[in-house]
Chain A
Amino acid sequence: MNSEVNIKRIDWISVAILSLLVLLGLGNIYSSSQAYLLESIFSMNPFTKQLLFVIISIFIFLFIQILPFNFFIKYSSILYVISILSLIGLFLFGNEINGALAWYQFNGFSIQPSEFAKPITALALAKYLSDINSNLKTIKTQFYSFLIIFIPIALIILQPDPGTILVFLSFFFVFYKVGLPSIYMNFFIGFIIIFFSTILLTPKYVVLFLLTLGLILSYFLRRNKNLLRKIFLYVAVFSVFIFSVDFIFNNVFEQRHRDRFNIVMGIEQDFRGSGYNTNQSRIAFASGGMFGEGFLKGSQTRGKFVPEQHTDYIFSTVGEEWGFVGASFIIILFTTLMLRISKRAELQRNVFSKIYSYSAVTIIFAHFFINIGMVIGLVPTIGIPLPFLSYGGSSLMAFILLFSIYIKLDSQRTSKW
């Protein structure tokens, strides 16, 4: 087992992309927190705090690189238990910020354990699924894998923090990749499609469409008994789901959640209430134009019109001050990074490292998709940070941790198991 730091084998390109993202994040946080800077020059403001976290992050990165390779395999279970305990501990010692019981606070700093639960759950899943006895085709392995992600999900539902729940649900992509039967994935994707179409249309029409589709398919496939049975199953399950969506949407969701969906789906327009953020964000993007208004010159940004702009809405600052070119550049950086990690994951022969790397991409992608989709008005408003760019110590350090472990595992790629 080779536990030395292998500098030559470190994925320097990914490190460079990540560093660029973090620096761009710092610049945009500086810009979007201008108002704070003016108010209090000497006290801690978002920019100086974030700068501090970046420095800490560098140490995290270096620390991970000098750890022995099998440290992660060995201690992932213990880390997982600690992580779960920290989530439970919130209900005893936690503080509520913005309506979510998700933070430990001391001395002006706050830590969000659910952020760290993401890389640790990835480690735990990698460990369990890389075990020679695990086989996702079996109900038993399915049960334990689901349990690993549903324990944190259950605890986070209680906070509540819908964004983080969605991130944990994205582990299904990892399961699918590692060997979960495709029927689960079909249901998963089917549910998403049906969820939105049910909100947009009415359940009646969606069911009617589904039944028609089922009938047509059954006619053409009438000789294949096996397929016919499957079609029947899907139609039945989806029909039940359609009506439960209607019920959940109208009875379980709160009005603000319904509003957010309705606004993204274009059913409602409300520029003062729930649609305020989305609209302000769109104005920021539109005023950016092709090349942007320039660093520190975004008028919407300077006027603090976009709420949470230095955290979840950081991308709108990019859009306003750096324009279409700058915003597209960030998207290209993310895409390159994610594709690079997933490609190198494919090359991994070590199953643990492979599954972990895959989980890392999935987590980054879930954040990327939900956050940018929300900021540019394609996804309902869900509070979730943009990896590496958004202000927030826990988020930044957890993502650096996630990334550092990937770099470490990746640098040991050719070493033997």
Chain B
Amino acid sequence: MKNRLLPFLIISSSIIFVFRLFWVQLINVDDVKLSNKNSVEKVYNYPERGYIYDRNKKLIVGNEPFYDLMIVPSKLKLVDTIEFCEILKIDKQTLLDKIKKAKNYSRIKPSVFLAQISKNDYAVIQEKLWKYDGFSVRKKSNRNYLLNSASNILGYISEVNDYEINDNSYYESGELIGRQGIEKSYEKQLRGVKGVSYFQKDNFNRITGRYKEGVYDTLFKPSKNIDLTIDSELQVYGDSLMINKFGSIIAIEPESGEILSLINAPNFDPNLLIGRNRSKNYINLKNDTIGKPLFDRGLQGMYPPGSTFKLINGLIALEENIITEKTKISCNEGHFYSKNRFMRCHCKPGTKNDLNTAIYNSCNTYFATIYKNTLDKFSNSKEGIDNWKRHVTSFGLGDYLGYDHPLGRPGLIPDSKYYDRWYPNNRWRAATTISNGIGQGEILTTPIQLGNIAATIANRGWYITPHFVKKISDDSIQIKFREKKYSTINSKHYEKIIGGMFDVIEKGTAQNSKIRDIEIVGKTGTAENFTKINGIRRQLTDHSIFIGFAPKDNPKIAIAVFIENGYWGTRWAAPIASLMMEKYLKKNIERKYLENYILSGDLSKEYLKPYGNGNFTINE
């Protein structure tokens, strides 16, 4: 023991040391990777963020440089303090305070002296800056939105937050990320891939040269430019039509599924969300709880589709052989579908409607009846409604549509399970769900889904998933935006429905929306809706809805217009849709009287009603 103690200690400690070295040098080295090594400074170089053009190659989003004036206190030499203050438009006290602040941060490392200097101010400073040692300029870049519109489509960019940094190894603090809209869904393409250079630092954090002669350095990958499907002229025109109205217009080119415009009203200037006042402006927008400008009604608003949904029920009834175009159903100001379940209709007593007249008169009885018959074709209502739902969802309803914008809602198309939950023990039948026949009841759709219905009918039975991007530099767009999706309805049935939709304009509910030389087709809708005021369910003025397309043969534009609390579809939605069509197809508006009527239309009183004190009347 006495003779072996020291050799034992020597050998055992050497073995422990070698194991420890093995551990710290080869195993547990994760926390000391190149990026964390404090002797190495990473400097990123960023590609310029990609430009965004509209469908006609008009630039709508570019970049604008701005400048930070940097200071290194240890190199500071102020030759002419008065002149320097004049150039920067600051007083002497501010100058001294800022220098002191920079010194407190570091004497030898650059810090920001004056942030976000505009291009014009920079021009003046740049001329004189050479005289002042210790100052330098760092160029940065921010978005410049050239179109004062489409903020809901474009989205915005801002600095990454901690969650995103932890979640995604690409981003580091202070970098910009697409926050909403196209900026978010095409973030990777628009940002490119940053390059990195490594520099050797000493213990005072001074850069002493390239790290390993730059073998680890990488060049950035340039970003990609994006062509949107949006027609910026149509988009801006839509904005003007929607002034003082809340709602949404969606225009789609049916043949390609390209979204020509998506107007959300009220809108805001996208330039509010860049630069120094970003967060203040954002809070202001967020606090507008009546207009909710950050809420994209076209994509996120779920509303009952109202009478526009009758077209779908008509198509399903034709497909299921419940009716032919000649089938007539009589209406006596409404109809009893079961005991205690009467639905009113505006048709005069004794009216007999076939499919065509039922569409252009928007007969409730007709469509409620064929809906009920569609369900009752099956021995039980469960099978009936699930079959009905199968048809409805083939139009892209009841689920996320799958377009390239981060916002969206699925809507709601009820099925047997849904009613079983509300009416357990088979306590419901087709008549219980009769409101679905006229697009009320449980059905909810988003305006873009309505636009997609219009496109599907325009194509006589298929649609291409609506999308916002036409081209990404030289890459083609995703395959799902080129594939036709067919509805479950045979295309021969569509012409029968379209005939009715044509008569809606010619002799039906939307005669005010005719355009000379262009055959337009469509269907108005008027959707009841409710809100809760102090816990009490109150009905509000109906939503004004229109879906349609033009021209009738070989359609170029399919459209859905949704005006919150606008009452009749004829009153607002249909004329707005027809003006959009005219603008798109004819480039200028001949019907100035109609345009003026819409432009001067003001619904803001309607929107304030629920917030006032006391009672209000609806559907005036």
Chain A interface (Cβ < 8 Å from any Cβ of B) = 35, 173, 176-177, 182, 280, 282-283, 285-290, 297, 299-300, 302-305, 319, 323-324, 327-328, 331-332, 334-335, 338-339, 342-343, 346, 358, 361-362, 365, 368-369, 372-373, 376-378
Given the known A-B contacts A288-B25, A331-B14, A369-B13, are A342 and B7 also in contact in the complex, defined by CB atoms under 8 Å? yes
Asked if B179 is at the interface of the complex by the 8 Å CB criterion, the answer is: no
Given the interface contacts A177-B3, A289-B29, A362-B6, does A331 sit within 8 Å of B18 by beta carbon? Answer: yes
A303 touches B21 (CB 8 A): no
Q: B270: shortest Cβ distance to chain A, in Å?
A: 44
Contact (Cβ within 8 A) B17 A299: no
Q: How far is the CB of B503 from chain A (nearest CB, A)?
A: 79
Does the CB pair B211–A285 fall under 8 Å? no
Of B2, B6, B7, B25, the residue contacting A286 (CB under 8 A) is B25
Pair count A-B, CB < 8 A: 112
> Given the complex, which residues of B lie within 8 Å of A280, measured CB to CB?
38
A365's partner among B6, B28, B32, B211 (CB-CB below 8 A) is B6
Helix, strand, loop or mixed for chain A's interface? helix
- Complex: how many Å from CA A160 to CA B95? 49
For this complex, 27 residue pairs linking A to B, each with C-beta atoms less than 8 Å apart, are: A173-B6, A173-B9, A177-B2, A182-B2, A282-B32, A285-B24, A285-B25, A287-B37, A288-B25, A289-B26, A303-B202, A303-B203, A304-B203, A323-B25, A324-B21, A324-B22, A328-B21, A335-B10, A335-B11, A339-B10, A339-B11, A346-B3, A361-B10, A369-B9, A369-B13, A372-B17, A376-B24
Are A376 and B21 in touch, CB under 8 angstroms? Answer: yes
Residue B421 lies at the interface, judged by CB distance under 8 Å to chain A? no
Whole-angstrom distance between the alpha carbons of A182 and B2 in the complex?
9
A268 to B203, CA, bound (A): 24
Let me know if B39 and A305 touch, CB within 8 A. Answer: yes
| Nearest CB in chain B to that of A335: its residue | B14
Cβ–Cβ contact B25 & A319, under 8 A? yes
Q: How far is the CA of A361 from the CA of B11 in the complex (A)?
A: 13
Which A residues are CB-close (under 8 A) to B31?
286
What's the least CB distance linking B10 to chain A, in Å? 5
| B40 contacts A by Cβ under 8 Å | yes
* A286, A338, A361, A372: residue with the most chain B Cβ atoms closer than 10 Å: A286
A331-B14, A332-B14 known; 16 new pairs, CB 8 Å cut-off, are A173-B9, A283-B32, A285-B24, A286-B32, A288-B25, A289-B26, A299-B212, A302-B200, A305-B39, A338-B10, A342-B7, A362-B6, A365-B6, A365-B10, A376-B17, A376-B21
Which residues of chain A have C-beta atoms less than 8 A from B14's C-beta?
331-332, 334-335
Q: Are A373 and B39 in contact (CB under 8 A)?
A: no
Q: How far is the CA of A358 from the CA of B4 in the complex (A)?
A: 12
Inter-subunit contact B10/A299 (CB<8 Å): no
Q: What chain A residues lie within 8 Å of B194 (beta carbons)? A: none
Distance between Cα atoms of A300 and B202 in the complex (Å): 8
Known A-B contacts A283-B38, A289-B29; the reply to A173 vs B200 at CB < 8 A is no
Q: Which residues of B contact A327 (CB under 8 A)?
A: 21, 25
Count how many chain B residues have C-beta atoms less than 8 Å from C-beta atoms of the other chain.
Answer: 35
A362 to B32, CA, bound (A): 35
Q: Does B123 contact A (CB under 8 A)?
A: no
Q: In the bound complex, what is the Cα–Cα distance between A328 and B201 (angstroms)?
A: 28
Contact residues in B for A373 (Cβ distance below 8 Å)? 13, 17
Please name all residues of chain B whose beta carbon is closer than 8 Å to the beta carbon of A319 when the two chains form the complex. Answer: 21, 25
Is B536 engaged at the interface, CB distance under 8 Å to the other chain? no
Write the chain A residue with the least CB distance to B38: A305
For residue B5, CB closer than 8 A to chain A, the reply is yes
Please measure, in the bound complex, the distance between the C-alpha atom of A406 and the C-alpha atom of B140, giving whole angstroms: 69
Q: Is the CB of B17 within 8 A of A286?
A: no
Residues in chain B near residue A376, CB distance under 8 A: 17, 20-21, 24
Q: How far does the Cβ of A236 sit from chain B's closest Cβ, in whole Å?
A: 25
Q: With the chains together, A254 CA to B208 CA distance in Å?
A: 38
* Contact yes or no, B39 A177, CB < 8 A: no
> How far, in angstroms, from A22 to B137 measured CA to CA in the complex?
51
Contact partners of B2 in chain A: CB under 8 A:
176-177, 182
Q: B32 — nearest CB in chain A belongs to which residue?
A: A286
Give the distance in Å from the alpha carbon of A346 to the alpha carbon of B6 in the complex: 12
Contact of A303 among B11, B32, B201 (CB under 8 A): B201
Chain B residue numbers with a CB within 8 Å of A173 are: 5-6, 9
Contacts known (A287-B32, A328-B21); A339 close to B7, Cβ less than 8 A: yes
- Scoring B13, B28, B202 by chain A CB atoms within 10 A of each residue's CB, the highest score goes to B13
A328 to B16, CA, bound (A): 11
Instruction: Give the complex CA separation of A335 and B9 in angstroms.
Output: 10
A283-B32, A327-B21 known; A303+B10 contact, CB < 8 A: no
Residues of B within 8 A of A372 (CB): 17
Q: Name which residue of chain A comes closest to B202, CB basis.
A: A303
Q: How far is the CB of B203 from chain A (nearest CB, A)?
A: 5
Give the residues in chain B near A300, CB-CB below 8 Å: 37, 39
